[in-house]
Amino acid sequence: MQLFMQQLVNGIVLGATYGLVALGYTMVYGIVQLINFAHGEIFMLGAFGALVTYNELVPAGTPAVIAILIMLVGGMAVSVTAAVLMERFAYRPLRGAPRLAPLITALGVSIFLQELVRNFYPATSDKPFPQLVDPSYQVHLGGGVTISAPSLLTVVAAVIGMLALSTFVRRSRTGRAMQATAQDPDTARLMGINTDRIIVLAFMLGAALAAVSGLSYGLQFGSVAPRMGALVGVKAFTAAVLGGIGNISGAVLGGFLLGIVEVMATQYAPDPFSGGSWANAWGFVVLILVLVFRPNGLLGERVAARA
Amino acid sequence: MHTPRLARVAVPLLVGALALTACGSKKESTGNGGSGGKTLKIGVVAPLSGDLSAVGNGIKNGVALAIKQANANKTVPGVTLVLDAQDDTAKADTGAIVAGKLVADTSVVGVVGPLNSSVAKGVAPVTDKANLTLISPSNSGVDLTGRDALATGGTQVRPHKSYFRVCATDDIQGPFAADYAVKDKGYKTIAIVHDKKAYGQGLAEAFAKEAKKDGATVLATQTINPGDTNFSALITKLKSQKPDFLFYGGEYPEASKITKQMKGAGLNIPLMGGDGVDAADYLTLAGASANGDYATALGAPTDKLASAKQFLTDYAAEKFADPADPYGAAAYDAANAIIKALAKAETDDKSMTGQALRDEITKEVGDSDFDGATGKISFDQFGDTNNKVLTVYKVEGGKFVAAKTDSFK
């Protein structure tokens, strides 16, 4: 039982990262029906932005909490700027184009951003990330189950980010305008909503949450790499589809579910299909099963044909 | 199903096309040989971009240094050597394509590389067709020289007549590590993790086999994906099995994260890896968690050999961006084997070019016998090095310290 609970905690930590990044996929998809494959790279840029901020702007001896907050602002600045530029120059000119064009563009942007960062950090694969939260400090959750301090921070940050986003979307005027644009962009425009602004905002919010995730990733694993966004991006996209792409709660649910499935598969799947190398395969088995019975994902609504 | 068929047609076509263009350029280069000297190339196939670029560039730099010294010392009279470095991006298919490029350029007399055994499986058949010498500084995959047959009691048959390597193989490195862990250190319950790549899996399997023979309990092998970062589930699982030692078959990016997360989670057992873990970056990335871990490496410790000391001094003087570790010295030796073979071929017959020269160099490399930076360089009839010296390093105070050097029987 202790083993099961410990693995459940591991799964929640893994799922928190997936969920936060998945929100970016799902928001953009919900509004412009674009699968922004470059979102994984926005996550990576958030992590590198935080790293650069730490190296360049945070004076030595700054208390960890303040340093992390400054890094968060720096990481967000980088990822949000990149997302806005990406939307403006790569996606907006293709707004009216057939669906495939922006999709391919997204893949191109993804490769471009990855290689761009690699240009600045060419020599080694992984850049050490400051260990501001001691990863060997274990918080005891009772029953012998533990969670490391940076992992706990990841979960807390993810929950705060998710709650803030859902409150914003449900309660604020701009949030309701976002919902309206997602439901019907043409009517929303007729009602006086500046849909271009709303679209940029969706990109910005997704990027900000990705930066939170990127920073906590760096603190958790102690290193960042230009390629780190690719795998997390794929997983987060899977999580978004699992939960029902376009649905904000679905992305969060999908993220946690995927994380837990991967962890449980590592522990309990029968040989020879057990172990970390099969975790991804089990994640996709669950995805396929869910899609067989609920083609729009767990919380996905029936999508009206409106291309 | 389209891709393999396309590759089958496209690769030979591409190689052929390159061969044609290279023939054209060859005529030009002989045309301007008015200065009396000719220019020949030594190729490098290594990952120069991507995750393993630091290691790949170390190989390239080792070769560049050997070439620079050969040119300065006029080791091969009348010949100016130049480097032709190709990026294999650590992928077998890319490796085969760039190898085709080198094969097509008739001024290439030998190739150093690749880094990965899996890539060598794509490269060696291509270079072997042209009997172009390929010397790897680091391939430890057993099947590249037919050694895999030995494990099952078969006879070793050499698959690639022009393939050599200056490093020991997994079937030696793995058992050497296992003997150290079980016999010398007395670890009893051993967990095995590998990344399913040819290198990692081969190493881990060889280790497991020998550790069992030495009397240790070997737990069920766990596998990960290269590129994974979160190993919490794996570590929780291992922790419940209470091992006292972990052997990891794979490379440093994942190993550094495993050791860090393992010790963070309170599983304080040493991690041991092969030469893929013996990298400066392992220490940087794992930080204090690396203390007490082990890595095996091929050859004697570089700082204990006079020849290696000279190499390290020369390497440092060049101010390369990437470190010589772990294969710079071996690549330097591999390049020198080609250069020495070329020098012999040139003294025998200056007029040799193209295929005749490549054939002669492959023959001469097989007869290599000199003291290199990593030890004695000579090959057996299968292309394997005779220098089967290995070293176990232990991380102490954030540094790899040689714990045991021995030659494996």
What is the ipTM score, two decimals?
0.84
Instruction: Please report whether residue A1 resides in a domain.
Output: no
Helices and strands, counts by H and E, chain A: 11, 4
Q: Of A170-179, B166-175, B250-259, B393-402, which gets the smallest average pLDDT?
A: B166-175
Contacts of B226 in chain A (CB under 8 A): none
CA of A143 vs chain B CAs: smallest distance (Å):
15
Instruction: Identify the CATH number of the domain in which residue B223 sits.
Output: 3.40.50.2300
* C-alpha–C-alpha distance, residues B407 and B298, integer Å: 10
Alpha-carbon distance of B253 to B53, in angstroms, equals 12
Q: Which helix (H) or strand (E) segment is B364 a member of?
A: helix B354-366
Interchain CB distance below 8 Å, B223 and A262: no
pLDDT digits (tens, 9 = 90+) for A250-291: 999 999 999 999 999 988 888 777 777 788 889 999 999 999
What are the tens digits of pLDDT across the range B235-267? 999 999 999 999 999 999 899 999 999 998 889
State residue B5's pLDDT score. 52
Residues B331 and B394 in one domain: no
For residue B218, being part of any structural domain is answered with yes
Contact flag A123-B322 (C-beta cutoff 8 Å): yes
Nearest chain B CA: its distance from A277 CA (Å): 4
Q: What per-residue confidence (pLDDT) applies to B409?
A: 61
- Minimal Cα–Cα distance from B28 to chain A, Å? 35
Q: Which residue of B has its CA nearest to A147?
A: B265
Which of A136, A228, A260 to probe the B interface (max B CBs under 10 A)?
Answer: A136
Across all residues in chain A, what is the average pLDDT? 90
- Region B277-283: mean pLDDT is 87
Q: What is the DSSP string of A93-130?
A: GGTTS-THHHHHHHHHHHHHHHHHHHHHS-S-S-EE--
The answer as to whether B330 is a domain residue is: yes
Query: B34 and B124: one domain?
Result: yes
Distance, CA of B249 to CA of B174 (rounded, Å): 9
Q: Over the stretch B101-137, which tens digit does the pLDDT of each residue have? A: 999 999 999 999 999 999 999 999 999 999 999 999 9
**Rounded CA gap, A7 and B236, in Å?**
7
> Which chain A residues are closer than 8 Å to B223 by Cβ?
275-278
Residue A7: list chain B partners with CB under 8 A.
Answer: 233, 236-237
Cα separation, B1 vs A198, in Å, equals 43
Q: How confident is the model at residue B65 (pLDDT cuts 50, 70, 90)?
A: very high
Q: What is the pLDDT of residues B72-85, one digit of tens each?
A: 999 998 899 999 99
- Nearest beta carbon to residue A10 from set B50, B222, B236: B236
pLDDT tens figures, B359-370: 999 999 999 999
DSSP run (H or E) holding B163: strand B163-165
B247: containing domain: 170-298+390-407
Q: Quote the domain boundaries for residue A195.
A: 14-226
Average pLDDT over chain B reads 87
Residues B122 and B215 in one domain: no
Name the minimum distance, in Å, from the CA of B362 to any CA of chain A: 33
Q: Which residues of A touch B265 (CB under 8 A)?
A: 138, 146, 148
Residues of A with CB under 8 A from a CB of B: 3, 6-7, 10-11, 13-14, 17, 118, 122-126, 128, 131, 135-136, 138, 146, 148, 151, 217, 220-223, 225, 227-228, 231, 262-264, 266-267, 271, 274-280
> Using N-to-C axis directions, what is the helix angle for A39-57 and A2-32, rounded to 10°?
110
DSSP helix, strand, coil percent of chain B (3-state; round to 5):
50, 20, 30
A138, burial (CB in 10 Å: exposed 0-12, middle 13-18, buried 19+): middle
Question: Would you list which residues of chain B are within 8 Å, Cβ to Cβ, of chain A?
Answer: 49-54, 57, 195-196, 220-225, 227-234, 236-237, 240, 253, 256-257, 260-261, 263-266, 281, 284-285, 287, 289, 321-322
Count up the domains in chain A and report the number.
Answer: 1
Tell me: do B241 and B106 sit in the same domain.
no
Res. B167 pLDDT band, cuts 50 70 90: confident
| B284–A128 C-beta distance less than 8 A | yes
The whole-number pLDDT of residue B34 equals 39
Chain B residue closest in CA terms to A121: B50
Q: In this structure, are B106 and B213 located in the same domain?
A: no
A147 belongs to a structural domain: yes
Do B180 and B115 belong to one domain?
no
* Per-residue pLDDT tens over the stretch B285-304: 898 899 999 999 877 777 67
- Residue owning tokens 């990298």: B279
User: How many domains, chain B?
Assistant: 2
- Co-location of B7 and B125 in the same domain: yes
Reported as type and span, the H/E element at residue A140 is strand A138-140
pLDDT at B349: 84
Closest Cα of chain A to B358: distance in Å?
34
Q: Which candidate in A7, A10, A228 is best for mutational testing of the B interface (most B CBs within 10 A)?
A: A10
Q: What is the pLDDT of residues B150-162, one digit of tens each?
A: 877 788 899 999 9
- Residue B242 C-alpha, separation from nearest chain A C-alpha, in angstroms: 13
Q: Chain B residue closest to A14 (CA)? A: B230
pLDDT in tens, A59-69: 888 898 999 99
Please check whether residues B66 and B132 belong to one and the same domain: yes
Residues B257 and B398 in one domain: yes
CB B300 within 8 A of CB B274: no
Asked whether the beta carbons of residue A148 and residue B321 sit closer than 8 angstroms, the reply is no
- B353, part of any domain: yes
In a domain, A149, yes or no: yes
B16 and B150 co-located in one domain: yes
Span A90-117, average pLDDT: 92
* pLDDT over threshold 80, residue A303: no
**For residue B319, which phi and psi values (nearest 5 degrees)?**
55, 45
**Do B159 and B226 belong to one domain?**
no
Clarify whether residues B17 and B111 are in a common domain: yes
Calpha distance A246→B21 (Å, rounded): 53
A272 in a domain, yes or no? no
